[in-house]
Structure 1
Amino acid sequence: MVRKRKSTLKASGTLSMEEINYLTRKYRTARAKRNATILFFLIMVVAGTYMLITEHAYSKVYKAASYTKTSSDNNQYVAFHNGIVRYSRNGVTYLNHKNKELWIQSGQFKNPIIDVNKNVFAIADCGGNSVQIFDRKGLKGEFETTLPVEKISISNQGVISIILKNGNTPYIVTYDSSGNILVENEVSVSSLGYPTALDMSEDGTVLAVTYLDTGNGSLKSKVICYNFGEKGKNKTNHIVSQKEYDEEIMPEIYFMDKSNLVVVSDHSFIIYSGKDVPKKKKEVTLKQEIQGTFHTSKYIGFILLKEDKTGYEVCLYNKAGKQIMCKDIKGEYSNVSMTGSEIIMYEGSRYCVITKTGVERVNKDLGMNILSVIPANGINKYWVMGTNELRVIYLVR
């Protein structure tokens, strides 16, 4: 006869719906807290690893690949989308990260200048009449201007504004990508001054221009913003804002994003705010002499001559005009740009990378005449364009 074991379990009765719902909520809350804790630690590990890699000084540069250049030595380079634009007097070539030509567009430019936006870029012949507009697939439009080109700025939609030379009566003309004139302004130098810089908003609605006026024996600059949309249609010459600055020269102006505009003078920078009607928000005076400028959609940067004139420093500001980093640098660099959180400088065969927090990641002599340095896909990876080759390099400890 088989003896039955006594069960140690005792019936506790039937659970009510309230008790079932309570236990379910308690279980789900505990699971959510556990998952959140695991996710938090994973994020901390990933962020810590990333910071360890990116905020670290490297002593060596490894050449992972090298591609010999077969074209002429007068090429210039700029990053665009996931590739590289190579342009020269003979036209434009779009390259992938292995130096493979994705497309080629011929052209004739005595002095090519370029302006790059997110989805399009434009090449024009400074002093000539040729203008070509491209997207990542190739030529989007081309046309000839009636007067010599001086400066250009292109919006993300392919609308382009151009300062055209015409003696003492220059023109600022805005075209679509096919060359159709959208807006034409004849500049009265006697009342406005001569246009020195311009930039279009990303959507092509607002055009910001700086003018230099030396009339009546005085020097002053003007910042004028034109709105070609609803806000400016009933305004004289589409002007929605205008401001004068005495004893200042303003050679640079740019939109950081949709609503922030920056004007750089010879000893300060001014932040304007407003998507449709940009207005002055803050002016920051720089005590040192400006040697170079750069910016991204988040940061405003300068290379400055130190006050004691013994060297240089790189300083970084946010959109509010607050200084977030200033660091002494070794050597002199005439080429500077910023991508993401990295400031890239180069001169001759030497290049230097500094992070937005002031960490000098690398400062090396590559033994080649550097024409451009562009961050590549991946961590610690860069494209370096030289006179005779394109290199892919990695930073290593």
Structure 2
Amino acid sequence: MAIELDKRRLRSYEIKEKKKKKIKVFVVIFIILIVSIVAVFALKFILQKNYSGYQVINTMKREDSTSAKYISYQGGVLRYSRDGAMAMDAAGNMLWNGTYQMKNPIVDISRKFVAIADRGYRTVEIFDGEGGVNTVKVLNPIIDVRIANQGVIAVLMEGKETNYIYLYDKEGNVLADKRTVASTNGFPIDIALSEDGRKLVTSYVAINSGEVQCKLTFYNFGKVGESYVDKMTGAFDYGKTIIANIEFVDNDTICAFGDDKFSIYSMKEIPKLVHEESVSSEIKSILYSSQYMGFVLKNPEGEQKYKVVLYDFKGTKVLDKDMNYNYENIYLSGNQIIMYTNLEWIIWETNGNEVLRYTFDKNVNYILPGTGEHKFIIINDENMEEVQLAEE
């Protein structure tokens, strides 16, 4: 009996010890969970900074005419006009420059390479970002130009009844050409060139039996494309939807912006539709970067005038927020949405949090991204300033 009693006591003791261990494990897990939640909120608080204005780091007096245009380039700016272009770092120091004579210059940039074409005329200047420049003379009036990371350009040209797309290397040698007949294929409205210069997407609009028909066509000029007729690896019909803007947001991802829908394609070699979605409201602006794409939509039935929507490249909506701000310029930069007029500047994070609302005391022409997330280049009629956001 004594032995059996001892066994019962031992079992009871073991059960109690197991319960104690379970309670300890539960307490430890609970503490870890609480600490993790606190850490996440603390990190959000640290990262979610609000700004009261900015500090000027460098100032350069403008010596160009107010007709010159500025565009973001390699953390600095590219200034261009009818008679030449100059690249500068954020402090205003010249990186390179070049002269030309054009009546209607248009620009495309890919990393350090720059293409400047004379729209409606027949000249393209290719700048290599290191002071070198090549002039390409084309056979027909230029509609548009795109440039790749190594200086390959795609030039869209118009003829009387035929449209042309030519690919040139940075020395001006023809790499490929495509010709389309307007009566059969329609009219080109946009082109996009991949970062490596091997893939091209075109948007054409035709009138068939009195109805508008839009089509996207995909070309591959690499080895894979050699297995396809005319190197065309895919085509997608959009019917009455007009795809006015197509962009390679990275080397293998294409965003197609239509007037009532958008599409996201992946194209390592052959195009594949990743996501497509209708847009029910009128589009005011399109947005895209290497991380997101989206729209500013008019919101006539809402309490506020506009709605900002952003998507990742899988088609997942990451932002849907109303706003009333009557911006004149808007763009995506990193994890920020930059909006401004000539007198006001607003910055949202891509989660919709407003982190800056600032009013200028003089007219501003440009606000461009600088060398870091919190640095910008502000250009007015008198100066170019490199600035850094100042925390509240």
Q: Same fold (TM over 0.5)?
A: yes
1:106 Cα deviation after fit: 0.7
**Is 1:311 aligned to residue 305 of structure 2?**
yes
1:176-215 mapped onto 2 (5 Å cutoff) = 176-215=169-208
Aligned counterparts of 1:215 and 1:257: Cα–Cα separation in 2: 34
Query: Could you tell me the percent identity over the aligned residues?
Result: 29
Equivalent pair of 2:255/2:262 in contact (CA under 8 Å): yes
Aligned residues of 1:292 and 1:334 also touching (Cα < 8 A): no
Question: How is 1:162-173 mapped onto 2 (pairs within 5 angstroms)?
Answer: 162-173=155-166
**Residue in structure 2 matched with residue 390 of structure 1 by the alignment:** 384
2 CA distance for matches of 1:283 and 1:79?
Answer: 30
The aligned residue for residue 55 of structure 1 is 48
Q: Does 1:342 align with 2:336?
A: yes
Cα distance in 2, alignment partners of residues 376 and 202 from structure 1: 22
Task: Give the aligned residue type for 1:248.
Answer: T
**Deviation (angstroms), 1:214:** 1.7
- Alpha-carbon displacement from aligned partner over 1:77-119 (angstroms, at most 9, x marks no partner): 2222232111111111011221122322111121111111123
Go from structure 1 to structure 2 and tell me whether the alpha carbon gap of 1:124 and 1:382 turns closer, same or farther (over 3 Å shift): same
Q: Does 1:160 align with 2:140?
A: no
Deviation at 1:224, TM superposition (A): 0.1
| Corresponding residue to 1:150 among 128, 131, 143 | 143
Aligned equivalents of 1:79, 1:308: Cα separation in 2? 36
| Residue in structure 2 matched with residue 329 of structure 1 by the alignment | 323
**Does residue 87 of structure 2 align to residue 90 of structure 1?**
no
Q: Distance in 1 between matches of 2:251 and 2:97?
A: 32
Residue 315 of structure 1: CA displacement?
1.5
More divergent stretch after superposition (171-180 vs 384-393) = 384-393
Pairwise mapping of residues 24-43 of structure 1 onto structure 2 (< 5 A)?
A: none
Q: Which residue of 2 aligns with 1:261?
A: 254
SS state at 2:203 partner: strand
Give the deviation of 1:378 after TM superposition. 4.4
Q: Following TM superposition, where does structure 1 have runs of at least 4 consecutive aligned residues deviating by more than 4 angstroms?
A: 51-54
The 1:53–1:97 alpha-carbon spacing in structure 2 relative to 1, beyond 3 Å, is farther
SS in 2 for 1:92: strand
Q: 1:296-336 deviations in whole A, cap 9, x for unaligned?
A: 12210211111427512222110011110122233222422
Please give the per-residue CA displacement for 1:223-261, whole angstroms capped at 9, x wherever unaligned: 000111112224222111011111111100011223221
For 1:146, give the aligned amino acid.
Answer: L
Alpha-carbon distance between aligned partners in 2 of 1:109 and 1:140, rounded to the nearest angstrom: 15
Q: 1:53 to 1:334 in 2, by over 3 A?
A: farther
2:290 is aligned with 1:297: yes
Provide the rounded CA distance (Å) in 1 between the counterparts of 2:58 and 2:334. 24
| Residues 1:179 and 1:373: Cα distance change in structure 2 (over 3 Å) | same
Counterpart CA distance in 1 for 2:208 and 2:200 is 24
**How far 1:54 sits from its partner (Å)?**
5.3
**One of 361, 380, 385 as aligned partner of 1:367:** 361
Residues 368 and 130 of structure 1: CA distance in aligned 2, closer, same or farther (over 3 Å): farther
User: Letter of the aligned partner of 2:150 in structure 1?
Assistant: Q
Match for 1:328: what amino acid? D
Distance 2:154 2:365 in 1: 28
Contact kept, 8 Å, 2:191 with 2:246, in 1: the verdict is yes
- Kept after mapping to 1: 8 A contact 2:274/2:315: no
AA matched with 2:137: E
Call closer, same or farther: CA 1:88–1:240 in 2, change over 3 Å: same
- Aligned-residue offset at 1:184: 1.4
Give the letter for the 2:143 counterpart.
Answer: E
Aligned to 2:242: 249
- Please say if residues 204 and 214 of structure 2, whose CA atoms lie closer than 8 Å, have aligned partners that are also in contact: yes
Normalising by structure 2, we get a TM-score of 0.84
1:394 CA drift (Å):
3.1
> What 5-or-longer segments of structure 1 have no aligned partner?
1-39
- 1:288 is aligned to 2:288: no
* Cα 1:258/1:64, change in 2 over 3 Å: closer
SS at 1:387 equivalent:
coil
Selected match of 1:358 from 332, 352, 358: 352
Task: Give me the whole-angstrom Cα distance separating, in 2, the residues matched to 1:157 and 1:164.
Answer: 22
Q: Does the 8 Å CA contact 1:56/1:359 hold for their aligned counterparts?
A: no
C-alpha contact 1:352 1:362 (8 A) present in aligned 2: yes
TM-fit CA distance, 1:52: 4.5
CA contact (8 A) 1:68 1:388 kept: yes
Query: Shift of residue 162 of structure 1?
Result: 0.9
Match of 2:118 in 1: 125
- Paired AA for residue 323 in structure 2: I
With normalisation by structure 1, the TM-score equals 0.83
Q: Indicate conservation of the 8 Å contact 1:159/1:204, yes or no.
A: yes
Instruction: Kindly provide the CA deviation profile for residues 112-165 of structure 1, in whole angstroms up to 9, marking residues without a partner as x.
Output: 111111232211111122211123312342212121111111111211111112
Q: Give unmatched runs, 5+ long, in structure 2.
A: 1-34
Size of the alignment, in residue pairs? 355
**Amino acid across the alignment from 1:90:** D
Partner of 1:21: none
Deviates more, 1:337-346 or 1:55-64: 55-64
Q: Sort the Cα spacing of 1:324 and 1:203 in 2 relative to 1 into closer, same or farther, 3 A.
A: same
Displacement of 1:264 in angstroms is: 0.6
Task: Tell me, in whole angstroms, the C-alpha distance in 1 between the residues paired with 2:364 and 2:102.
Answer: 23
Moved more, 386-395 or 72-81: 386-395
Given residue 330 of structure 1, which amino acid in structure 2 is its aligned partner?
N
Shift of the 164–369 alpha-carbon distance from structure 1 to 2, 3 Å rule, reads farther
